[in-house]
Structure 1
Amino acid sequence: MRPKIYLFGDSITEESFSDGGWGSSLANHFSRTADVVLRGYSGYNTRWALKVKEKVFPPPQQSGGGDAPPAAVTVFFGANDASLPDRCSGFQHVPPDEYKQNLLSIVAFLKKQWPSTCIILITPPPIDEAARLLHPYVDNPSGLPERTNEAAGIYAKQCLAAAAECGRPSINLWEKMQQFPGWEKAYLRDGLHLTCNGNKFVFEEVVKRLKEEGISLENLPADLPLISEIDTDNPLKSFDN
């Protein structure tokens, strides 16, 4: 009855359904008009996402057949691709050119599945390198951050280039977040993942971009009558239409 909005990405997407997360805020925002479906995979890069895409999004005939295409899919990868190849998270690294091509392939796959679906590419966020040293995910004998803000910026540009090449909307989180003083602590809790304010920032950017693409509370009807529409004299009559 309701259109779906899929969130496809890495840990920043997987964690988005936590308390105050940008995904749970989207689900609340569209609570009577669309189902927000989480498809986040912590630690994944675009190479891995490309490998598992058919399992994440099986062909329509294998996933219920008559389901309508989703209203939108967000594709939010790059934070892991941008891990530096010669440091402790090097196994997650994907070269910039391959990252761009992987995004194009993911979009092409989704477009083939659902030609009418809005696909939004989201760049990786900026990196607070000092905080990354305080919150390593694996043993870090080099004492150097496994991600840098400069590298994240390179991948952000590649993400925007991929979006432009395939004619899809995008959100430049890397640039937008850094426009605010103190973004390092305000938006990032460990130099990479989002604080409550960071989640709010992403939520607002996604809602804004969706609205620009015609997906908003104003354009999506409620799937059943609202309480204000119920006939108080004959409530059941309200459901006949």
Structure 2
Amino acid sequence: MRPQIVLFGDSITEQSFRPGGWGAALADTYSRKADVIVRGYGGYNTRWALFLLNHLIPLGCTKPPVATIIFFGANDAALLGRNNERQHVPVEEYEENIRRIVNHLKEYSPTMLVVLITPPPVNEEGRKEYARSVYGEKAVDLPERTNEMAGVYAKLCVELAKELGLSSINLWSKMQETEGWEKKFLSDGLHLTEEGNAILHQEVVRVFNEAWLCASEMPYDFPHHSEIDWRNPENAFQQRC
């Protein structure tokens, strides 16, 4: 069986297999090398994600994923007193929840490559425009998320990764290195455009390559067609058994 790479996160992960999505691009990068499994749950925060851990890696699992990406925080950082406050998770609890998710994964496989991704930046004007497009005159004046607060969660995510000896991707900082990131990388002030997906895919591949999961160094699951003798095809497959 091919090794598995699991993407565990919220709507940005759930949408990652749409055309131009970062998950679809990752599946293409690891085609015939590893299976990319999407476990994305729109609207979820880390508090609710904890209820999914035994479904992510069931009890008694004999072959856990070779790598798991944990990508939460965008919903945890929703502000109190705004229209999405039900999703809010205090930053201290967010840290503890991520730690519990990591511990669960490492309990099943101490060698598993675990990567933390910070929440993306927030284009507050984009969030207000999106709210107006959905709710019209009933839209609130203030965005339910701010870039400043997303940065607080991003900073803690990176610090926690360092503490736990994990790789991380500071998507919040990376995207803001590019002028015009607000529209270039974000479609509605939060979710990713095709360009935003591309930069995330690029960062995931970079981190995997820097670790030990470089696609170009992994074997195909079955022989390349050029290795198959059409007269005696069974020989090529016997060599892999």
What are the Cα deviations for residues 157-204 of structure 1, in whole angstroms up to 9, with x where unaligned? 111111112111100000000000111111000000000011111101
Give the paired residue count.
236
The question of whether the paired residues in 2 share the 8 Å contact of 1:89 and 1:138 is answered with no
Residue of structure 2 aligned with 1:127, choices 119, 122, 147: 122
Q: Give the aligned residue type for 1:34.
A: A
Q: Give the aligned residue type for 2:83.
A: C
C-alpha distance in 2, partners of 1:223/1:142? 52
1:217 maps to which residue?
Answer: 215
Q: Alpha carbons of 1:186 and 1:134: their partners in 2 closer, same or farther (altered >3 Å)?
A: same
C-alpha distance in 1, partners of 2:228/2:190? 47
Gaps of 5+ in 1: none
**Where do 4+ consecutive residues of structure 1 move more than 6 Å?**
none
Q: Give the aligned residue type for 1:97.
A: E
**Range with bigger deviation, 166-175 or 50-59:** 50-59
2:198 maps to which residue?
Answer: 200
The alignment partner of 1:146 has SS state of: coil
1:81 maps to which residue?
Answer: 76
> Map of 1:127-166 to 2, 5 A cutoff?
127-136=122-131, 142-166=140-164
1:97 maps to which residue?
Answer: 92
Residue 53 of structure 1: how far off its partner (Å): 1.5
1:183 maps to which residue?
Answer: 181
Q: Give the aligned residue type for 1:90.
A: E
2:9 maps to which residue?
Answer: 9
The question of whether the paired residues in 1 share the 8 Å contact of 2:57 and 2:64 is answered with no
Q: Alpha carbons of 1:129 and 1:207: their partners in 2 closer, same or farther (altered >3 Å)?
A: same
The question of whether the paired residues in 2 share the 8 Å contact of 1:186 and 1:198 is answered with yes
Instruction: Give the % identical residues.
Output: 51
**Range with bigger deviation, 126-135 or 225-234:** 225-234
2:111 maps to which residue?
Answer: 116
C-alpha distance in 2, partners of 1:233/1:202? 45
TM (norm. structure 2) is: 0.94
The question of whether the paired residues in 2 share the 8 Å contact of 1:10 and 1:45 is answered with yes
2:101 maps to which residue?
Answer: 106
Residue 233 of structure 1: how far off its partner (Å): 4.1
The question of whether the paired residues in 2 share the 8 Å contact of 1:47 and 1:94 is answered with yes
C-alpha distance in 2, partners of 1:193/1:151? 16
Gaps of 5+ in 2: none
1:31 maps to which residue?
Answer: 31
Residue 232 of structure 1: how far off its partner (Å): 4.1
C-alpha distance in 1, partners of 2:91/2:114? 21
The question of whether the paired residues in 2 share the 8 Å contact of 1:101 and 1:162 is answered with no
C-alpha distance in 2, partners of 1:108/1:238? 41
Residue 69 of structure 1: how far off its partner (Å): 2.7
After superposition, the CA RMSD in angstroms is 1.5
